[in-house]
Structure 1
Amino acid sequence: MTQTDRRLERAIIGLLERRAATSSICPSDAARAVYDEDDDGWRALMEPARRAAWRLVAQGRVEVTQGGRPVTEDEARGPLRIRRAGW
């Protein structure tokens, strides 16, 4: 795992901790939090942010949702949301 991967995981957890328990975030929120510049370079971190979310799902720390319901990595197509596990 790279340093960027670890930073993305920490960003996901940190962003969720700062929000209401039932709130969710977009993988782009984590990508933007990790990317240090003001341009659109954060977009290159979108796929790594999604992979970080799936690692956290495997650890039981978060859920990935679409349309408000949890989905598996095999089911997921298109825009995703990330929320704390158990909600």
Structure 2
Amino acid sequence: MEQVIIDLLDQRAATASICPSDAARTAYGGDDDGWRALMEPARRAAWRLVSAGEVEVTQAGRPVTEETARGPVRIRRAGRR
């Protein structure tokens, strides 16, 4: 899942972000709602990438921590604004 997130970010403009659901849908690859089962794995992968310094998880454009994040989040490359 980490590689899916990195690949999606590489496909976007330098300042772009993705939703964890983008990674879940891409990893699932199906047309039905089966991707929803991959939402939590996508979120966990994002936090692992945060720990590795690869990405930031944001809300309202500002980085958040796993402890403070509540509700929908976005993922972007670390150090991008």
Q: So what's the TM-score if we normalise by structure 1? A: 0.90
- 2:58 matched to which residue of 1? 65
2:24 aligns with one of 28, 31, 37? 31
Count matched residues. 80
**2:39 corresponds to 1:46:** yes
Tell me by how many angstroms 1:36 deviates: 2.8
Which piece of structure 1 moves more, 34-43 or 62-71? 34-43
Let me know the Cα RMSD of the aligned residues: 0.5
- 1:83 matched to which residue of 2? 76
Provide the rounded CA distance (Å) in 1 between the counterparts of 2:46 and 2:61. 16
Gaps of 5+ in 2: none
Q: So what's the TM-score if we normalise by structure 2? A: 0.97
Provide the rounded CA distance (Å) in 1 between the counterparts of 2:8 and 2:77. 10
Shift >3 Å, 4+ stretches = none
- 1:14 matched to which residue of 2? 7
